[in-house]
C-alpha cells in the first residue's frame, strides 16, 4: 500500500499545471495590451465614420458580387470592357495632346504679339530720334536712325534674328534677291553707307529719301 500511495502521489504531481514562467507572463501582458485596443473593444458604439465605411464596404461587396455574377453569365463583357477602357484611355490621351498643342499655340501667339509690340516700340524710338535729329538739321544722324528703324522693322517680320554685329551688306545677303524688299533695302543701305561710313555730307533731301524708303519697306 505504501508503494501504491507513493506512485499515486508521483502521478498527481505530474498532473499539476506547471508554474507560469516569466516569458509567459510577459507575453500575456503584451497580448492583454493589444486586446485592450480600440479595434478589439466591442463594448463601445462604433463611430459615425466606422458606420459609413462599413456601409460603403458592404455596397462595394454587393456591387462586385453582381459584376462577377454578370461576368460569369456573359463572358463577352470582359473583352467589351477592355476595348472600352482602351478607347477611353486613347481619347483622354488625344484630348490632353490637343489641349497641350492649343496651349502652346496660344503661348506662341502671345509671345509673337509681345515681340511685335516690342519691335514696333523700337521702330518708333528710332523714328522719334530721326525726327529730332532732322529738326536740328543733323541729317547724317537722322539717316543713320532711319536705316536702323528699317532693319528693326524687318526683324519684326522674322526675316532674321536680331544681331547688331552684322554689317549692312550682311543684312542684304539675308534677304531673298527676288523679294520686293531687296531693292528697297539695297537703296537705303547704299545711301546710308555713303553718308555714315563714307562721311558724305547729308542734306534734307537725303533724309526725306531715307524716310520715304523706310515707309515703303514697312508697307511692302
| Positive or negative torsion for Cα 53, 55, 61, 63 | negative
**55 inside domain:** no
CATH number at 137 reads 1.20.120
Give residue 116's pLDDT.
55
Identify the weakest region by mean pLDDT among 35-39, 101-105, 109-113.
Answer: 109-113
**Residues 181-200: what's their mean pLDDT?**
92
The rounded distance, in Å, linking the Cα atoms of 103 and 163 is 30
Give residue 162's pLDDT.
78
Give residue 115's pLDDT.
55
**197 inside domain:** yes
Q: Which residue has the cell 465614420?
A: 49
Q: How many CB atoms lie within 10 A of CB 71?
A: 13
Three-state DSSP state, 19: coil
Q: What is the pLDDT of residues 106-142, one digit of tens each?
A: 666 655 555 555 678 888 999 999 999 999 999 999 9
Cell numbers of 30, please?
A: 503584451
**178 inside domain:** yes
Chain centroid to CA 72: how far? 45
Query: For residue 216, what pLDDT band results from cuts at 50, 70 and 90?
Result: very high
Instruction: Give me the domain span that covers residue 124.
Output: 113-219
**Residues 84-89: what's their mean pLDDT?**
87
On whether the CB atoms of residues 130 and 197 are closer than 8 A, the answer is no
Q: pTM value? A: 0.49
On whether the CB atoms of residues 168 and 189 are closer than 8 A, the answer is yes
The rounded distance, in Å, linking the Cα atoms of 2 and 206 is 149
Alpha helices in the chain, H assignment, sequence order:
2-15, 22-35, 48-73, 77-135, 139-156, 168-174, 181-192, 204-219
Percent of the chain with pLDDT over 70: 81
Average pLDDT of the chain? 82
pLDDT above 90 (res 40):
no
**180 inside domain:** yes
Tally of structural domains, the chain: 1
Give residue 185's pLDDT.
92
**168 inside domain:** yes
Q: What is the pLDDT of residues 138-189, one digit of tens each?
A: 999 999 999 999 998 888 888 888 787 889 999 999 888 888 899 999 999 9
On whether the CB atoms of residues 161 and 151 are closer than 8 A, the answer is no
Three-state DSSP state, 150: helix
**7 inside domain:** no
Amino acid at each position: 500500500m505504501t508503494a501504491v500511495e507513493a506512485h499515486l502521489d508521483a502521478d498527481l504531481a505530474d498532473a499539476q499545471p506547471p508554474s507560469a514562467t516569466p516569458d509567459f507572463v510577459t507575453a500575456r501582458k503584451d497580448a492583454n495590451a493589444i486586446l485592450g485596443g480600440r479595434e478589439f473593444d466591442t463594448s463601445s458604439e462604433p463611430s459615425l465614420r466606422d458606420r459609413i465605411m462599413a456601409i460603403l464596404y458592404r455596397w462595394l461587396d454587393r456591387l462586385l458580387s453582381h459584376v462577377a455574377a454578370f461576368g460569369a453569365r456573359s463572358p463577352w463583357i470582359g473583352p467589351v470592357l477592355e476595348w472600352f477602357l482602351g478607347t477611353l484611355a486613347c481619347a483622354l490621351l488625344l484630348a490632353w495632346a490637343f489641349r497641350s498643342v492649343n496651349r502652346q499655340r496660344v503661348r506662341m501667339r502671345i509671345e509673337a504679339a509681345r515681340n511685335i509690340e516690342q519691335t514696333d516700340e523700337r521702330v518708333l524710338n528710332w523714328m522719334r530720334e530721326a525726327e529730332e535729329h532732322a529738326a536740328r538739321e543733323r541729317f547724317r544722324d537722322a539717316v543713320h536712325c532711319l536705316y536702323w528703324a528699317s532693319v528693326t522693322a524687318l526683324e519684326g517680320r522674322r526675316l532674321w534674328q536680331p544681331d547688331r554685329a552684322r554689317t549692312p551688306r550682311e543684312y542684304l545677303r539675308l534677304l531673298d534677291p527676288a523679294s520686293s524688299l531687296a531693292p528697297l533695302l539695297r537703296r537705303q543701305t547704299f545711301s546710308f553707307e555713303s553718308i555714315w561710313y563714307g562721311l558724305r555730307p547729308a542734306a534734307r533731301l537725303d533724309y526725306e529719301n531715307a524716310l520715304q524708303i523706310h515707309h515703303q519697306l514697312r508697307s511692302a
